[in-house]
Homo-oligomer: A and B are copies of this chain.
Amino acid sequence: MLSRGVKQLGRLRPCSQGILPSFACRGFASPTLPELTKDRYPHVKRGEFAKLDQNHLKFFRDLLGENRVLNDPSDCEIYNVDWNRNVRGYSDCVLKPKTTQEVSQILSFCNEHRLAVSPQGGNTGLVGGSVPVFDEIVLSLSLMNNIISVDDTSGILVCEGGCVLEYLDEQLANHGLMMPLDLGAKGSCQIGGNVSTNAGGLRLLRYGNLQGNVLGIEAVKANGEILDCLSALKKDNTGFHLKHLFIGSEGALGVVTKVAIQCPAKPQAVNLAFLGVKSFDNILTTFRRAKRELGEILSSFEMIDEQSIGAVMGHLKVKSPIDNHPFYVLFETQGSNDAHDQEKIHRFLENIMGDGTVLDGTVTNEPSKMRAIWDLRERIAEAFLHDGYVFKYDITLPLEKFYSIVDVMRERLGSDVLRCCGYGHIGDGNIHFTVTTKEFSKDILKRIEPFVYEFTSELKGSISAEHGIGFRKPQYIHYSKSDAAIHLMKELKKLMDPKGILNPYKVLP
Using a CB–CB distance below 8 Å, which chain A residues touch chain B? Answer: 151-155, 176, 197-198, 200, 204, 208-209, 211-213, 225-229, 231-242, 244-245, 247-249, 252-253, 265, 267-268, 284, 287-288, 291-297, 334-337, 340, 343-344, 396, 398-400, 425, 427-430, 460-469, 473, 477, 480-482, 484-486, 488-489, 491-493, 495, 507-508
Contact = CB atoms under 8 A, between A and B. Distances in A.
Identify the interface centre among A204, A292, A336, A507: most chain B CB within 10 Å of its CB: A336
Complex A-B, nearest 9 residue pairs according to Cβ-Cβ distance, in ascending order: A212-B212, A244-B244, A295-B336, A236-B462, A238-B480, A296-B296, A235-B465, A340-B340, A234-B428
B295 A335 contact: yes
Contacts of A151: 398-400
Contacts of A488: 227, 242
Identify the interface centre among A295, A340, A481: most chain B CB within 10 Å of its CB: A295
A232 B228 CA distance: 31
Given A176-B292, A212-B209, A336-B294, A462 B233 contact: yes
A484 B235 CA distance: 21
Identify the interface centre among A200, A212, A464: most chain B CB within 10 Å of its CB: A212
B237 A466 contact: yes
A431 to B, nearest CB: 11
B247 A462 contact: no
A239 B489 contact: yes
A198 B152 CA distance: 26
12 contacts: A154-B429, A204-B234, A209-B212, A212-B212, A228-B484, A231-B462, A234-B396, A234-B430, A238-B463, A240-B492, A244-B244, A265-B295
Contacts of A229: 481, 485
B227 A482 contact: yes
A496 B248 CA distance: 20
A244 B484 CA distance: 16
A236 B396 contact: yes
A239 B507 contact: yes
A14 B334 CA distance: 35
A310 to B, nearest CB: 26
Contact of A153 (B288, B466, B491): B288
A212 to B, nearest CB: 2
Given A241-B244, A399-B154, A485 B176 contact: no
Given A154-B399, A399-B154, A485-B242, A237 B291 contact: no
Contacts of A293: 336
A268 B295 CA distance: 9
Contacts of A268: 295
Given A233-B429, A238-B481, A211 B469 contact: no
Contacts of A225: 484
Nearest to A466: B235
Contact of A232 (B212, B265, B398, B495): B398
Contacts of A232: 398, 460
A467 B336 contact: no
A480 to B, nearest CB: 4
B213 A462 contact: no
A401 to B, nearest CB: 11
A237 B198 contact: yes
Nearest to A18: B235
A334 B343 CA distance: 18
A155 B429 contact: no
Contact of A249 (B227, B240, B489): B240
A508 B238 CA distance: 9
A151 B397 CA distance: 13
Contact of A429 (B234, B240, B288): B234
B477 A238 contact: yes
Contact of A284 (B153, B399, B482): B153
B198 A241 contact: yes
A130 B234 CA distance: 24
B398 A211 contact: no
A398 to B, nearest CB: 7
B495 A238 contact: no
A502 to B, nearest CB: 13
A237 B464 contact: yes
Given A151-B400, A154-B399, A428-B234, A484 B287 contact: no
A477 B239 contact: yes
B237 A489 contact: no
